[in-house]
Amino acid sequence: SIHTFDTILYRIDPLRNMCRYYSISIMPNLFGGHSLMRTWGRRGSGGQTIIELFDNPATAQVACDRILRSKLERGYSECRLSH
């Protein structure tokens, strides 16, 4: 069975007209490794996406944790979803 792990972060500040999202997912890829997919932008927009490839889920998780920690320090709030 394929398991993906998604985290969605939001940063909303009406005084600064800021309504941003940052989505990060770890999932198996077709090459036998795992992909870390990040999408970000203003809510309601398609945003930008980047995909990084990793040999195993542990290294993808380390990268994911580092990115999440950085975003939370910058004022984003977390909404975690599991499929």
Give the DSSP H or E segment for 50: strand 48-54
Distance from first CA to last CA of the chain, Å, rounded? 11
Q: pTM to 2 decimals?
A: 0.81
The residue length of the chain stands at: 83
The average pLDDT across 57-76 equals 94
Please give the pLDDT value at position 62.
Answer: 93
Residue 16 identity:
R
- Residues 19-50 have pLDDT tens digits of 999 999 999 999 899 999 999 999 888 899 99
